Amino acid sequence: MCSALRDSFESRVGLRIKVAREAMNLTQSQLGKEMGFKDRQTITAIESGLRKVSAEELTRFMSVLNRDLDFFTDPFRLEGEGRFSFRAKGAGEGELEAFESIAGQWIAFWREQGRKQSIEISPLRPQLTLNNKSSFEEAQAAGENLIKAWGLGSIPAVKLISTIEDKLGTLVLFVDMPDGISGAACQIPGADTILVNRKDSVGRRNFDIAHELFHVLTWDALPPERVDREHPSGYKAKRIEQLADNFASALLMPRSILEPLWNVRDKSGMDMKTWSIAVAMELKVSTWALGCRLKTLGYITDEEILKRDEERNVRDIPALFSRNFMERASQALEQADVSVMRLIKLLGITGRGGLKELFKFHGIQVPLGV
């Protein structure tokens, strides 16, 4: 085992011992005593990844902390790592925890294979210059400025995902989510991820991506609540989500694009509903999001917003995960870093046939042995 992977393994074991210890409300001294160590410093060194755990010691940790071997050693799990934020209107806590566990495996797999494939990760994480004192207008300006900085063009939604992946190294995954969850973000060093419910409409998916992008770019200054409910519990949580919505609206529907379109409608006398449907489909947003943006710009009143999505776009359900993710999975199979059956289980798909189809959907040659 090379030095980098050995260090990674020891750090993983140490971190998970710490997670299990804290879950049982044990101090380092108490755990050290249970393990038969002479002092607390031994546990400190182990949890810091500075001291190797022998096979006999690991067996003892399993017994004392009541955890199975995979908890301590499986690289395709997130245990005590990563912070999630969900856009969830109706999902219960049990559904969220179950989905977080599954999503954590995808993210951990992505990160671990990146390590094994020696993919460089920037030590810097770009952040927007926004904080808890920033105004909605400043959040909108940040969204519009990003269009220029990233060269997103006249329909920002078209290039948004590929640009997020290229500029930030952030993973964007289309997945099946429980009812009531439309999107999520996970902050974790080297594997920041945006997850989107692939069965939502195109407009809603794009808005969720832009909304979660805000969290990725402001997580340290404006940490989001674990769950973004329809009615946030506190002022701070509500304000962060409102800033995210203002940013997302301006990013997808900048004034420079909407204003000339609005002026044409004004002169032609086209009715509001017909115009909204056409513009929403062109910009790949929902008519409801478009209406909210028009209100923010002062073009219409709240009463004129279409209260439900009227663009009637086809669901256009994308393939599971993403091309980048499946390319890394293909390399993992070719390098024998993961077995076919383990990958099938990890992805939650049906047999080898399902895996073959998934590679084909993403235009990737099916690896040998699948």
Q: Are residues 263 and 139 in the same domain?
A: no
pTM: 0.91
Assign residue 363 a region (left: φ > 0; alpha: ψ between -120 and 50; beta: otherwise): left
The predicted pLDDT at position 233 comes to: 67
The predicted pLDDT at position 180 comes to: 85
Residue 42 lies in a domain: yes
Whole-number Å distance between alpha carbons of 138 and 41: 48
Whole-number Å distance between alpha carbons of 145 and 364: 35
Q: Are residues 130 and 224 in the same domain?
A: yes
Q: Are residues 144 and 51 in the same domain?
A: no
Whole-number Å distance between alpha carbons of 212 and 186: 9
Residue 198 lies in a domain: yes
Residue 146 lies in a domain: yes
Residue 78 lies in a domain: no
Q: Are residues 241 and 274 in the same domain?
A: no
Q: Are residues 66 and 152 in the same domain?
A: no
Residue 313 lies in a domain: no
Residue 93 lies in a domain: yes
Q: What range defines the domain where residue 108 resides?
A: 83-245
Ordered mean pLDDT values, 10 residues apiece, the chain (370 residues) = 58 93 94 92 93 94 95 91 87 88 95 89 86 95 96 96 95 94 91 95 94 96 85 78 96 96 86 90 94 92 78 75 96 94 94 94 92
Q: Which of 221, 245, 269 is the last residue of a domain?
A: 245
Q: Are residues 139 and 211 in the same domain?
A: yes
The 10 Å CB-count burial string (b at 16+, else e) for 329-366 is bbbbbeeebbeeeebbebbebeeeeebeebbeebeeee
Sequence-distant (≥ 6) Cβ neighbours of residue 23 within 8 angstroms = none
Whole-number Å distance between alpha carbons of 88 and 241: 12
Q: Are residues 239 and 341 in the same domain?
A: no
Q: Are residues 98 and 59 in the same domain?
A: no
Instruction: Please tell me what DSSP assigns to residue 193.
Output: E
The predicted pLDDT at position 332 comes to: 95
Residue 296 lies in a domain: yes
Q: Are residues 69 and 87 in the same domain?
A: no
Q: How many separate domains does the chain show?
A: 4
The predicted pLDDT at position 331 comes to: 95
Q: Are residues 143 and 259 in the same domain?
A: no
- Helix, strand and coil content of the chain, in percent to the nearest 5, comes to 55, 5, 35
Q: Are residues 119 and 171 in the same domain?
A: yes
The predicted pLDDT at position 165 comes to: 95
Whole-number Å distance between alpha carbons of 188 and 236: 23
Whole-number Å distance between alpha carbons of 245 and 212: 9
* CA nearest to 61, candidates 27, 34, 92, 28: 34
Residue 279 lies in a domain: yes
Q: Which of 53, 73, 93 is the last residue of a domain?
A: 73
Whole-number Å distance between alpha carbons of 155 and 36: 63
The predicted pLDDT at position 2 comes to: 45
Q: Are residues 64 and 90 in the same domain?
A: no
